[in-house]
Chain A
Amino acid sequence: MIIFENITKKFPLGNVALDNISFSIEDNEFVFLVGPSGAGKTTIIKLILKEIEPTSGSILVDDLDITNKNFSKILTLRRSLGVIFQDFKIIYEKNVFENIALSLLVLEKYSSSQIKEKVREALTVVGLKDKEKVFPIQLSAGELQRVAIARAIAGERKIILADEPTGNLDPKTTWEIMKIFKKIDKEKTIIFATHNADIVNSFQKRVLVLRDGKLIKDLRKGKYEL
C-alpha cells in the first residue's frame, strides 16, 4: 500500500511541484496519473523512488515511512519497485537477457539457474522469448520498452512505476505494450503516468488527475478528464 499524506514539494527556485496532496493506493491496484506537463506526475514517481525528498508531508510504502529522516531501507524500498521510463533506460552493451537479469542480480540472492528461469518467465510475459540474446541496438522502440517492462516485473517487484512508457511509441505499439500491462494487472500495484487519453479511457481504472501540483480529481473507474 502506498500512502501520500499532505505532500508538498517545492524546488529550490521556488516552483511548487506538488501542493499538499494526499491519496492512498491499495496493493495490486492500477492507478493512472494524468495531467498536463508540469502537473507533478513525474515528481510523484520520483518521490516514491526516493530520488527526491518532499518539502513536507509523509509517504508510506508498504508500512515503511520513506520520508522519515532516519529511513535507512532504501535498498529494500527500491528492490520492491519496478520502474519503466519513456526513454527505456536500457543498457546497450548488454543483451536482452543480461538487461533483465540485472534486475535479479542486484538482489544478490538468486542462483544463475533461478535467474535464467525468472528472466525467461518475464520474457514470455512481454513476448520476447526468442530474443534473449539480441542486443538492444537490433530492437525496435516497442521491443525496447518490452525489455524495460520485463526488467521491471522480473523477480518480486510488487510495485510498478511507469513514467509515460508509451510516450515515444506509435499507436499500434502502444496498444501492444498496454496488453502487457493488462496481463500483469491485479498481480502488482501499477502507477502509470500518461498523457494518452485513449489508454486511460479504455482501461477504466482509477485516475488521479493533477494540475499545477494539485490533486484535482480522484476518479474510480475514471476517464481522462482535465
Chain B
Amino acid sequence: MKNFFISIKRTPFQSAASFLVLFFSLFLTLFLFITLAFSESLLSYIETRPQITVYFQPKTNENEIFKIRDELNNSGKILSIKYINQKQAFEIYKQMNKDNPLLLEMVSADILPPSLEIYAKKPIFLPQIAEYLKKQASVDEVQFQKDILDRLLTLTSILRKISLTFFIYLFLMTTTVLIAITHFKIALKKEEIEILNLLGASYSYIRRPFLKEAFFMAIFASIFAFSIILAILFYFHPFLNSYLQGISSLSLNILNLNLLIWPINWSFLSITFLITSLFGVLVSLFSTFLATKKYL
C-alpha cells in the first residue's frame, strides 16, 4: 500500500488519468447495472399480475368457459388460469365496496360477468392469447395491458442491448487507455527497470508493482463510483418512492436466489458493488498485464 501511494506521488498525472478512466467506466457500469436490475424486476413484477382478464357475458354456460380455458391450457403458452364465477365476482365486489352500502344494494351476483385471469409463460404470447379470446362469441371484454407491457418489454430489451454495447465499449476504452498510461509509467521507470534487470530481478518481480497499483486503483475507483451512485440513489429516493407507489416490493430471481431490489436493499447494493469491483479489478489487471507483457 505504501508503494502504491509512493507511485501516485511519483506519477501524479498518470495515476489521476488511470483513476478517472476507471471511475468513469465503473460509474457507468454501476448505473447501467442498477437501471437494468430495476427494469428487469419491474418486468417480473408486472408478469406476476393478471396479464389478461377476460369477461364473459353473464349468462355464458360454465362448460363453454371451461372449454376455452382447456384450449388455452393446451396451447403451451399459459402459466396458469384462474376462473372466477359470478358468486366469487360478487364476493370480490362486496369486499371492494364494503364501505359503500348504496353500491352493494344496486348490484347482485347475476349481473356480474364470470371471468378468467390468465398468466402467460412469456409476455410475447399475450397479444396472441388476447386475439384468440376476442374471437370467441361468449367473450364480452378482454382487458389486456398491452401498451404497458409492450413498452416495458421494448425498454428492457433496449436497455439490455445498450448495456451490452456499453460494457464492450467501456471495456475496450478502459483497456486501451490503461495500456497507454501503463506504457508511460514503464517509460518513466525505464532506468529503474534496467537496474532491476541487471540485479537479477525476475520478470514477475518487475511486473508486480504495476499489477498491485492496478489492483488498488480499481478498488479505490470502485469505492468512489459506488459512493457517488449511493448518493444519487438516496437523493432520488423520495422521487422513486412516489413513482413506484403501490408497488410494495420489486425483486429479481437470479440463479434461484430471490434478490430484493426495491425498497432499497443492502444485499442487492453489496452484490452490485462486488460485481463492479470485480469488473474494475479485471479490466485494470488485464490492461496492465497486456502493457507489461508488451513493453517490459
Contact = CB atoms under 8 A, between A and B. Distances in A.
A102 interface: yes
A106 B191 contact: no
Given A51-B198, A83-B199, A102-B195, 6 more contacts: A77-B200, A79-B200, A80-B200, A102-B196, A105-B205, A107-B200
Contact of A75 (B6, B195, B202): B202
A83 B198 CA distance: 8
A91 B192 contact: yes
Nearest to B192: A91
B10 interface: yes
A93 B185 CA distance: 14
22 contacts: A49-B198, A74-B200, A76-B200, A78-B198, A78-B200, A80-B200, A83-B198, A89-B191, A89-B194, A89-B198, A91-B192, A102-B195, A102-B196, A103-B199, A105-B205, A106-B199, A106-B200, A106-B201, A106-B205, A107-B200, A108-B205, A151-B199
Pick from A76, A107, A151 the residue with the most CB of B within 10 Å. Answer: A107
Contacts of A76: 200
Nearest to B6: A93
Interface string B174-197: 000000000000000001101111
Contact of B202 (A81, A93, A108): A108
* Interface size of B as a range: 10 to 19
A107 B199 CA distance: 9
B200 A91 contact: no
Contact of B199 (A51, A74, A78, A93): A78
B1 to A, nearest CB: 15
A179 to B, nearest CB: 24
Nearest to B194: A89
A107 B200 CA distance: 7
Contacts of A103: 199
A74 to B, nearest CB: 8
Given A89-B195, A91-B192, A106 B10 contact: no
B295 to A, nearest CB: 19
Contacts of A74: 200
A80 B200 CA distance: 8
Interface in A84-115: 89, 91, 93, 102-103, 105-108
Interface of B: 6, 10, 191-192, 194-202, 205
Nearest to B197: A78
Contacts of A81: 198, 200
Closest 4 CB pairs of A and B: A78-B200, A79-B200, A106-B201, A106-B199
Nearest to A93: B10
A49 B197 CA distance: 10
Pick from A78, A91, A105, A106 the residue with the most CB of B within 10 Å. Answer: A106
B192 A106 contact: no
Contacts of B201: 75, 106
Contacts of A105: 205
A96 to B, nearest CB: 15
Nearest to A76: B200
Contacts of A78: 197-200
Nearest to A103: B199
A89 B192 CA distance: 8
Contacts of A151: 199
Contacts of A80: 200
Nearest to B196: A106
Nearest to B9: A93
A80 B199 CA distance: 9
Interface string A31-62: 00000000000000000010100000000000
Nearest to B198: A83
Contacts of A93: 6, 10, 192
A81 B199 CA distance: 7
Contacts of B191: 89, 91
Pick from B10, B191, B199, B201 the residue with the most CB of A within 10 Å. Answer: B199
B202 A106 contact: yes
Contacts of A106: 196, 199-202, 205
B144 to A, nearest CB: 70
Nearest to B204: A108
A108 B201 CA distance: 9
A120 B191 CA distance: 25
A81 to B, nearest CB: 8
A46 B194 CA distance: 13
Nearest to B202: A75
A63 to B, nearest CB: 18
Interface in A125-163: 151
Contacts of A75: 200-202
A107 B205 CA distance: 9
A91 B199 contact: no
A78 B195 CA distance: 11
